[in-house]
Structure 1
Amino acid sequence: MSKHHPPKLSDADLTRKLNKKVYFDQLIELQTRLARIQQAYLFHGLKGVLVFEGWDAAGKGGTIRRISQALDPRSFKVWPIGAPRNYYLNRHYLLRFWERLPPSGAISAFDRSWYGRVLVERIEKLTPETRWRAAYQEINDFERMLVDDGTRIVKLFFHISQEEQMRRFTERLTNPMKRWKLTYEDFRNREKWDIAEVAVDEMLARTSTEVAPWHVIPSNNKKYARITAMKAIVEAFSEGVDLNPQHLDRRTLEAAGKTLAVDQSLIDSLRARTE
């Protein structure tokens, strides 16, 4: 196995883009693959976790929406993560994430995640340095336990330039349908961009592992970012998994043959695959 090399923000080529036709062609293909992955996970009892981190206005929400369009919400859950309430403040920071992990057959997406410990809590000095520094190993151990238990993890960091972020803030201010997305915190966070960059690069270096690597997604072009992120998810979630439609059991096929107005040859062909 080749040695894993953690990514850096500077590795991301922010000039990458996709035209509309290529984007929609690939989006349809990837959404179809995601639907097949979900069916396979349900059948085989597999579990998947998606971690979305990135700059404000970098496109995490838009990517999550395109993924959600393809999946049945009964076994796909999105967890928007904000500041913990008092119950969790008095307990280990990983507790609220343990409680939101997917059961067998399901996929969970975390819009922000346990990486807040080494990002916002570090940047805002909400946690003593000894504790957020200890979190790198705690997180690696946490993720290894999940992987050893059969959970696949895909971690995505959406990276944009400061100039593109400012353009998107302006768009949010001028567009009434997007204005709700703009908050005072967005501007306050911009003032700490340089400090945050150091924190992000250290997070990538310390927690991108063989079992749970980070993907830095160039996101100045939203279409390119969505497709790149979805490709990473599809690749990781489908590796070694049989995505073919699953066989029906004999009793179901016999009932279908008696009840449904379908050609008997179809029932016979499906029965042959089962046997």
Structure 2
Amino acid sequence: MNWNHLQNRVLHLNQLDQTKILSPDEYQVKMKELKNQIRELTFIAKEKERPILFVFEGWDAAGKGGAIRRLTQEIDPRLFEVHNISAPNAEEIQHHYLWRFWNRIPKKGHIGILDRSYYGRVLVERVEGFASEPEWSRAYEEILLFEEQLLSFGTIVIKFWLHISAEEQLLRFETRKNDPLKRWKLTEEDWRNRDKWSLYEEAANQMFQKTDAPKAPWFLVPANDKYFARTMILETTVERLQKELE
């Protein structure tokens, strides 16, 4: 199987094919191969002193955490750091919204992984009214300039949006609610956000159109099937790193 994600990208959520699935056997075979490739490529990035920044965005319960765990399983733990981004704290809110992300940028040869990111400015802050329209409107250009600075430093930027249907999200919410080990993942805010699905979808589609760049492209991942989503993320990562490190 070879999807060639660098060439066949979709930049609108309604155009994603959510029928794609992967069998457990095929998943195991592909993941073993891809994890080995990622381990080797991250060592090459270390030798070449190239930082790597992963951006993970997507719907609540879309599988970002599980995808990140699979991505990092074979990477030397000394080389990466995962940052779970939540609402800014009292100090951070006194600064420009990008200030706290500068402190999370990976150094040369290392890997930073953002579970949620600076794109929150044009997503949750836009939809929930935490940023005014002039603030989130100018953020597209600010983010592009921010990423251009990272790229000029040699950073490889890889951005994913994990997309599930509203029906699949409801099913996962109900599963979490009924599982004592997963119940902590579900909050009242998650339920409230479902009521604004169309607003978040509009914001996401506009974000893809305005912040997709040749050196920092968006990859939209059909994630109703977790096996397919995780495999696509790893395969896309391999393709991107091979292209950048060749």
Q: Under a length normalisation based on structure 2, what TM-score does the superposition of the two structures give?
A: 0.94
Aligned-partner Cα distance in 2 for 1:215–1:182: 26
Amino acid corresponding to residue 189 of structure 2 in structure 1: E
Specify which of 153, 156, 168 is matched with residue 152 of structure 1. 156
Matching of residue 79 in structure 1 with residue 83 in structure 2: yes
Structure 1 or 2, whichever has the larger Rg, is: 1
Aligned-partner Cα distance in 2 for 1:216–1:5: 7
State the shift of 1:5 in Å: 7.8
Matching of residue 141 in structure 1 with residue 141 in structure 2: no
State the shift of 1:162 in Å: 0.4
Maintained 8 Å contact 2:10/2:220: no
TM-align CA RMSD: 1.5
Matching of residue 164 in structure 1 with residue 168 in structure 2: yes
1:64-107: per-residue Cα shift (whole Å, max 9, x none)?
01112111111111000000011111111111111110001101
Matching of residue 126 in structure 1 with residue 154 in structure 2: no
Specify which of 73, 79, 90 is matched with residue 94 of structure 2. 90
Matching of residue 51 in structure 1 with residue 72 in structure 2: no
Map residues 55-70 of structure 1 onto 2, 5 A cutoff: 55-70=59-74
Name the SS of the counterpart of 1:215 in structure 2.
strand
**Identity across the alignment (%):** 43
**4+ aligned runs moved over 2 Å, structure 1:** 3-6
1:113-155: per-residue Cα shift (whole Å, max 9, x none)?
0000000000000011101100000001111111111001110
The structure, 1 or 2, with the larger RCO (C-alpha pairs under 8 Å, 6+ apart) is 2
Name the SS of the counterpart of 2:78 in structure 1.
helix
Amino acid corresponding to residue 82 of structure 2 in structure 1: V
Aligned-partner Cα distance in 1 for 2:186–2:129: 23
Aligned-partner Cα distance in 1 for 2:145–2:236: 23
Maintained 8 Å contact 2:84/2:116: yes
Paired residues, number: 240
Aligned-partner Cα distance in 1 for 2:242–2:123: 30
Amino acid corresponding to residue 212 of structure 1 in structure 2: A
Name the SS of the counterpart of 1:17 in structure 2.
coil
